[in-house]
């Protein structure tokens, strides 16, 4: 199945979930749960918590599927963002427990193969990578680590051994540059 077809089927399934169709929710779960579980695990580093958050994510899909607008977001982006936000809220709630080793965090982005089977628009992905490549490599590394770990400025500063103020400045300047680059 190509990317357009799987995206269209997934969007349609989410629309059916909004109409309270449990089979549609099962379809969404079947096609996205491994991806979302990977995202939750990546941030939480704890299988049991990741399972809880995953369950919570699909219950949110069940209750808020009507908020998904296929004109504005791709279904997998919407789901991944939901999973990341729930996972991040969860680690904030448990306090600043930082478990991931920095080496691993830095090894992932460039070393890992493209794992998604729900491949998004390749052009958009390349564009983001291209814009990240234009940043100072240290800043780009901090942005990637922030994304993959979901940690606060403070934890990020500790992980990368940079003063807090410097880290905030790196990330904010990076976001402003990224926005300009992505809008260009």
Partner 1 sequence: MTDALPPHDGEDRPFAGEYALGVLDADERAEAQRRIAAEPAFARAVEWWEGRLAHLAERIPPVEPPVTVWPRIANLVGAAATQKPSAWNNVRLWQGASAGALALAAASVVALVITPRPAPPPAVAPVKPPPAPAEVALIADPTTKQPALVATLDHAAGKLILTPVSMKMPAGREAELWIIPEGQKAISLGVIPGDAPKAIALPAGLTGAGTYTALLAITDEPPGGSPTGVATGSVRAAGKFQQTE
Least separation in angstroms between CB 51 and partner 1: 6
Q: Decide: is 147 part of the binding site for partner 1 (CB under 8 A).
A: yes
Least separation in angstroms between CB 49 and partner 1: 12
- Are the C-beta atoms of residues 136 and 24 closer than 8 Å to each other? no
The residue from 4, 19, 72, 161 that contacts partner 1 (CB under 8 A) is 72
Contacts (Cβ under 8 Å, ≥6 apart) of 45: 99, 100
75 by Cβ neighbours in 10 Å (0-12 / 13-18 / 19+) ranks as: buried
Q: Decide: is 74 part of the binding site for partner 1 (CB under 8 A).
A: yes
Q: Decide: is 101 part of the binding site for partner 1 (CB under 8 A).
A: no
Q: Decide: is 166 part of the binding site for partner 1 (CB under 8 A).
A: no
Least separation in angstroms between CB 150 and partner 1: 4
**In whole angstroms, what is the distance from residue 137 CA to residue 149 CA?**
18
- Are the C-beta atoms of residues 36 and 80 closer than 8 Å to each other? yes
Binding residues among 13-42 for partner 1 as defined by CB under 8 A: 16, 21-27, 29-31, 33-35, 37-39, 41-42
């Amino acid at each position: 199945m190509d990317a357009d077809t799987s995206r269209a089927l997934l969007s349609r399934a989410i629309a059916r979930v909004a109409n309270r169709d449990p089979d549609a929710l099962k379809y969404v779960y079947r096609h996205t749960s491994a991806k979302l579980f990977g995202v939750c695990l990546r941030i939480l580093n704890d299988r049991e918590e990741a399972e809880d958050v995953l369950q919570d994510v699909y219950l949110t899909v069940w209750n808020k599927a009507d908020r998904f607008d296929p004109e504005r977001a791709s279904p997998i982006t919407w789901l991944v963002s939901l999973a990341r936000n729930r996972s991040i809220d969860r680690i904030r709630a448990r306090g600043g427990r930082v478990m991931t080793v920095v080496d691993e965090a830095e090894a992932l982005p460039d070393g890992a193969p493209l794992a998604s089977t729900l491949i998004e628009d390749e052009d958009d992905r390349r564009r983001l990578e291209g814009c990240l490549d234009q940043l100072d490599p240290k800043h780009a590394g901090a942005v990637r680590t922030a994304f993959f770990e979901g940690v606060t400025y403070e934890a990020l500063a500790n992980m990368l051994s940079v003063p807090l103020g410097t880290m905030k400045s790196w990330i904010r300047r990076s976001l402003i540059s990224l926005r300009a680059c992505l809008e260009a």
